[in-house]
């Protein structure tokens, strides 16, 4: 039986991808190139520095030093956090809050497992922080998804064994990370893309507690 639900943040609880896109695009534009929203899909679930490497690759920027890269990532994050600071609970994705609440009411533990270092501020803006028993994010992990570290740390913090956890993920690398952790995975998004998941739905508004027992 399922004892814990671990939720990815971006793309599952809230759609911050649009803000990441605007901020990365601004950085690219300042450097004299551009990229598409389609390319931006590849940045989902990917850490900040790995995202920067992808963006620089699209602009054929190959000569940036580590110090320059740090400065670019900081510049992007400043624009990103300006937008994040304006977020309100209206931006919580449909059914997300209700589903997390239904888990808690059923005695199922809840955690966030995100690559984002901005997780604390995002959860605060959405007024969701108290709904999670544990928060594991980009500030507390050293290995990015598909490494299972983020979800294993979540299970450990909750005191639940990995086999009794379900992960909710919108990114291919995130579903892989859940599977690498020995957990069940519910994909949020395209069944074609997230084929490694045990089941795929298009949002938490489509998930029920009964569904969890069939995984």
Treating both helix axes as pointing N-terminal to C-terminal, what angle do 172-180 and 149-158 enclose, rounded to 10 degrees?
60
DSSP letter at 127 equals: T
Report how far residue 100's alpha carbon sits from residue 176's, in angstroms, rounded to the nearest whole number: 22
Is residue 67 within 8 Å of 49, Cβ to Cβ? no
Which residue in the list 10, 34, 53, 205 is annotated as catalytic? Answer: 10
Distance CA 169, CA 181 (A): 13
For position 154 contacting Mg ion by CB under 5 A, the verdict is no
Candidates 42-50, 77-85, 135-143, 187-195 — which segment interacts with Mg ion by CB under 5 A? 42-50
Round to whole Å and give the CA distance between 85 and 118. 10
Closest separation in Å from C-beta 138 to ligand G16: 4
**The two three-digit tokens of residue 149, written as one number:** 């570290």
Residue 70 or 213: the one with the smaller Cβ distance to ligand G16 is: 70
- Can 8 be counted among the known catalytic residues? yes
Q: According to CB under 6 A, which residues from 136 to 175 bind ligand G16? A: 138, 171
118 counts as binding ligand G16 under rule CB under 6 A = yes
> 124 CB contacts (<8 Å, ≥6 apart)?
none
Q: Of 97, 158, 160, give the one whose Cα is nearest residue 129.
A: 97
* H-helix or E-strand spanning residue 112: strand 109-113
Residue 191: CB minimum distance to ligand G16, A? 19
Residue 20 binds which entry of Mg ion, ligand G16, none, with Cβ cut-offs from 5 to 8 Å by kind? ligand G16
66 is catalytic: no
The footprint of ligand G16 on this chain (CB under 6 A) covers a number of residues equal to 20
Q: CB of 210: closest distance to ligand G16 in angstroms? A: 26
CA gap 45, 130 in Å, rounded: 23
Q: Considering the rule CB under 6 A, would residue 128 count as an interface residue with ligand G16? A: no
Q: Which is nearer to Mg ion, 8 or 137 (CB)?
A: 8
Does residue 146 bind Mg ion (CB under 5 A)?
no
Of 56-64, 110-118, 127-135, 204-212, the segment contacting ligand G16 by CB under 6 A is: 110-118
Residues annotated in a binding site? 8-10, 24, 43-48, 51, 76, 114-118, 145, 169-170
Q: Does 40 bind ligand G16 (CB under 6 A)?
A: no
Q: Which residues is 166 bridged to in the sheet?
A: 5, 184
Side-chain-side CA neighbours of residue 66 (13 Å): 0
Which residues are designated catalytic? 8, 10
Binding site for ligand G16 (CB under 6 A): 8-11, 20, 43-48, 51, 77, 114-118, 138, 171
């Amino acid at each position: 039986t399922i004892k814990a639900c671990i939720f990815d943040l971006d793309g599952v609880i809230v759609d911050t991808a649009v803000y990441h896109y605007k901020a990365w695009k601004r950085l690219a534009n300042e450097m004299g190139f551009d990229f598409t929203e389609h390319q931006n899909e590849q940045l989902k679930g990917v850490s900040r520095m790995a995202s920067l490497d992808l963006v620089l690759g699209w602009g054929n920027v190959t000569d940036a030093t580590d110090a320059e890269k740090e400065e670019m990532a900081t510049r992007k994050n400043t624009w990103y956090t300006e937008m994040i600071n304006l977020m309100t609970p209206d931006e919580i994705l449909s059914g997300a809050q209700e589903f997390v609440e239904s888990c808690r009411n059923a005695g199922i533990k809840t955690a966030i497992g995100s690559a984002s270092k901005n997780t604390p501020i995002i959860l605060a803006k959405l007024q969701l922080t108290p709904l999670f028993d544990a928060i594991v994010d980009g500030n507390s992990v050293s290995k990015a998804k598909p490494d299972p570290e983020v979800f294993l740390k979540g299970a450990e913090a909750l005191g639940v064994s990995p086999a009794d956890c379900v992960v909710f993920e919108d990114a291919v690398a995130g579903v892989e990370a859940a599977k690498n952790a020995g957990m069940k995975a519910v994909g949020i998004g395209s069944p074609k893309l997230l084929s490694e998941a045990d089941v795929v739905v298009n949002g938490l508004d489509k998930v029920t507690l009964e569904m969890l027992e069939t995984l």
